[in-house]
Amino acid sequence: MFNKIKKIFAILLIAVCFASMAIKAVGGNNAKQITLSFWGTNLPYQFALEGIAAQYNEMQDEYEVVIDKQDAGNYRIWMGGRLAGGNASDLLATTNVYANTDASNGYLYDLSEALNQPNPYSDSGLSWKDDFSGTYLTQVAYANDTSKFYCVPTNTVSVRFMINTDILEQNGIEIPTADWTFSDYRRICEKLENSGYETAMEIANAKFINYTVSWAIDIMMAQLKYDEVLGYDRNQNGQVETEEIVRAFLEGEDPLDMAKDTDFKEVMQFIKLWSRYWGEGFNSRDDTSENFLRQTVPMMFGGSWSVSGIELTLNNENPEADKTNPYKMFNYISLPFPRLEKEVYLDKDTTFTFTNLKEGLPLQELGEPSGCFCIPKSTVEAGKLEGTLDFLRFFTSAQAASYMAEKAYEIPVIKNVEINEKMYDFLPPENSESIRMRFNLLNLSDGVASEYHFKQVQMYLMEGASSISLSTLCRNVQAKYEEVTELIRDDNGWEW
Amino acid sequence: MTKEKKSLKKINFTPYLMILPIMILLSIFAFYPIALSVIKSLFRWSGTFGNDGVNTFIGFKNFIELFQDEIFLQSWGNTLFFIITGSVINLIFPFLCALLIFSIGNEKISYRWRVAFVAPMVVPSMVVFLLWQFIYDVDMGVVNNLLQLFGANKVDLLGNPDSVKWAIRFMGFPWVGGTFLLVYIAGLSGIDNSLREAAKIDGASALYRIFAIDIPLSKPQFKMILTLSIIGEIQDFVKIQTVTEGGPGYSSYVPGLYMYKVAFDSNEYGKACAIGVTMLVVMLFASFLMNVLFKKEDID
């Protein structure tokens, strides 16, 4: 009897498997359904995406947008496999670096023509391209041909110092404002340390030196090399593209040389001195947000992407959850990276001098495009281009951007978007410009090379026998820059 | 009918036909990728088929670059550390545990212990790695909390180049659960019990019986586990990617991680294939070496 039941159960299971495969095979070709795939663990972002899809589906009945969340760890492999196999989702979350690679492999649809047309969901009367503010769109142009676009951004990420104002007030420390200097910041740290805080400020992602620290390096380098970077921007479009970076390193009598560059050396020396106060834990879990939330660390340097987690935790109004969670509400502000001065106060015994620093220059920290989406060529072949493009236009409208800012704390890349007070702090302050050039190999589309850069910095910041010297760091970074830029030049056949 | 035809008639084709489907699948999913990797290791290849992307024959350039690449050489040095320590651990600890379980006279209790040691295998390895990362955490980890309890300073085990490899190796302590334990128990069960009984009658102590009977007659298991350990240590990079990303610096970098990053971060599939080929060669050599070291007659 039992065996019979087992048999029936097994047959049923197999039948269900086959039926679901058949339904998937038939349903998979449904031209009306548009699948958007993305990766991530950020729940507010997922809910906001679903909200945008729901709004779009309600607005029209020709297409149905379906949100498909993929595993963050394996997304790139999943995405690459699907693109190569010609069965990718209709709309794919991507990054500028991934899009460059996938475009050169011929997997993506070129959006440049569509971007020249007006966005029907915008009231601006401008082309879709011109609805983007600053250089957010041009920053994602195809590296090998800047007239082409294989992805569009839907938001931007930026970094800020998040400061627990309650702790500062309790300790009689004046709340700083957006025009604060690095010396101001360090004096606040000292007061907090004297009040018993072991670490006054933590840096998110410091453990792998691959993101937040690289932002800090870029912001400082942008201030120090302001005039030179203007010179690298040969087409004067407000950013230094791949070809311009390659030229800066390889062309002319006085090319950029990190092994000799005084500014780069000074920034690295300064970072090493600063890192003494960061708190321990290379390769530890990144618990910066956690420590900030628990108020054991009064300040954190992190990205806009941390805000949703902080807000979600602090605004948790569930009384049952409040009984067990260790967090208490507190007020905080987000400030831009403090300005460097020629003489920076680090502690009572240490002052650092930046030889070439010019004070009073615009801040450069507008942020970089994120939340990029691309359309695979397979979408075009499946006859879904029109619908997918239409949704992408809606997704980049002011209405959708405002919704994403409200629900997922995303910073918009579209002009004239109303956003909440918390995210307003992340908008570029007055007298600021976009970062024209990132001073790491990240922007040259070579993951292993950029990792090499970060690991070199990591080894330089270490203490002990495994640490490398400043000259070794600069020499190694320059050697990698030359290797990578020469390869890019040769691959593209660039001659100047 | 010729002699050859007669002998062909004698061959029973049924087993070959039955194994054919699996051989076809193996050829598609195992042999073909290996052959493709060997061929593509001689190319600068962006992973595409057809006319798109980069696909240029460059001979042995990938290999030459790799053997001049300090990171690649350091990653093999790190792997050697993991091979040696991993092999020692896998040879000793599961075997000791297997001996203890095997020595339990009551079959029911012995079975329960086996289940208890094998049950943790159902926990996904990723969970285990993240758990260990928590344990080592500088601010909230158990290790540092215990140290502080005794007035000692915090230690950054995963962030220090001197300790990171040992910290990674220590993950999974006490290293006794899982497949290797079952292999040893199966091996010990396979030994004729009359040998142990005879030794016992002759007055051999328990320790002497282990060294004179159990260890020598478990050689096939040792051989298998040593081979699997070496192959496993060369292939494994997931835990390193999860807890240190090969850092600090390149202190815990391994070839598998390098291959993964070169392929999926840099899109240099040709170079990644070359790394894969070197790993394959080392693994084949290690297997050959094991066969030489543990000759069949010795085992018999």
Domains of chain B: 60-299 (1.10.3720.10)
Question: Which comes out higher in pLDDT, residue A431 or B85?
Answer: B85
Q: pLDDT tens-digit profile of A372-388?
A: 999 999 999 999 999 99
Q: How confident is the model at residue A319 (pLDDT cuts 50, 70, 90)?
A: low
Task: Kindly tell me the burial class for residue B299, based on how many C-beta atoms sit within 10 Å of its own C-beta (0-12, 13-18, 19 or more).
Answer: middle
pLDDT, residue A215, reads 84
User: DSSP per residue over A54-73, as a string?
Assistant: HHHHHH-SS-EEEEEEE-TT
Chain B residues with CB under 8 Å of A491 CB are: 54
B262 touches A at CB < 8 Å: yes
- Whether A112 has a pLDDT exceeding 90, the answer reads yes
Cα–Cα distance for residue pair B277/B25, rounded to 1 Å: 22
Cα–Cα distance for residue pair A357/A445, rounded to 1 Å: 30
Least confident interval from A13-17, A319-323, B67-71, B284-288: A319-323
Cα–Cα distance for residue pair A2/A204, rounded to 1 Å: 57
Two tokens at A440? Answer: 């790491």
- Whether A352 has a pLDDT exceeding 90, the answer reads yes
Q: How confident is the model at residue B182 (pLDDT cuts 50, 70, 90)?
A: very high
Which sign, positive or negative, has the C-alpha torsion A89, A90, A95, A96? Answer: positive
What value does the CA radius of gyration of chain B take, rounded to a whole number of Å? Answer: 25
Cα–Cα distance for residue pair B279/A470, rounded to 1 Å: 34
Domains of chain A: residue spans and CATH: 16-156+369-433 (3.40.190.10), 159-365+440-492 (3.40.190.10)
Q: How confident is the model at residue A4 (pLDDT cuts 50, 70, 90)?
A: confident
pLDDT, residue A317, reads 57
**β-sheet bridge partners, residue A181:** A339
Cα–Cα distance for residue pair B221/B206, rounded to 1 Å: 21
Two tokens at A496? Answer: 């100047």
Two tokens at B214? Answer: 């159990």
Q: Which of A183, A187, A193, A185 is nearest to A161 (CA)?
A: A185
Amino acid identity at A77: I
Residue with tokens 């879709």: A128
The whole-angstrom distance between A457's CA and the closest CA on chain B is 8
Two tokens at B1? Answer: 């009918």
Cα–Cα distance for residue pair A418/A427, rounded to 1 Å: 11
- Whether A368 has a pLDDT exceeding 80, the answer reads no
Percentage, residues of chain A above pLDDT 90: 43
Is A67 within 8 Å of A49 (Cβ atoms)? yes
Amino acid identity at A171: N
Q: Which of A82, A51, A60 is nearest to A390 (CA)?
A: A60
- Whether A336 has a pLDDT exceeding 70, the answer reads yes
Residue with tokens 């660039």: A494
B154, B247, B258 ranked by CB distance to A282: nearest: B247
Two tokens at B181? Answer: 């334990």
pLDDT, residue A412, reads 87
Interface test with B, best of A150, A282, A286 (most B CBs within 10 A): A282
∠ CA(A32), CA(A38), CA(A41), 5° rounding? Answer: 140
Beta-carbon-side half-sphere exposure of residue B107 (alpha carbons within 13 Å): 1
Using the beta-carbon criterion (under 8 Å), do B156 and A281 form an inter-chain contact?
Answer: yes
Interface test with A, best of B138, B145, B156 (most A CBs within 10 A): B138
Question: Which comes out higher in pLDDT, residue A443 or B141?
Answer: B141
Cα–Cα distance for residue pair B294/B297, rounded to 1 Å: 8
Beta-carbon count within 10 A of A432 CB:
16
Chain A residues with CB under 8 Å of B162 CB are: 464-466
Task: Kindly tell me the burial class for residue A389, based on how many C-beta atoms sit within 10 Å of its own C-beta (0-12, 13-18, 19 or more).
Answer: buried
Q: Which of residues 146-165 of B touch A (CB under 8 A)?
A: 154, 156, 158-162, 164
ipTM of the complex: 0.81
Q: pLDDT tens-digit profile of A247-302?
A: 999 988 889 999 999 999 999 999 999 988 887 766 556 778 888 888 989 999 88
Q: Which of residues 122-161 of A touch B (CB under 8 A)?
A: none
pLDDT, residue A463, reads 81
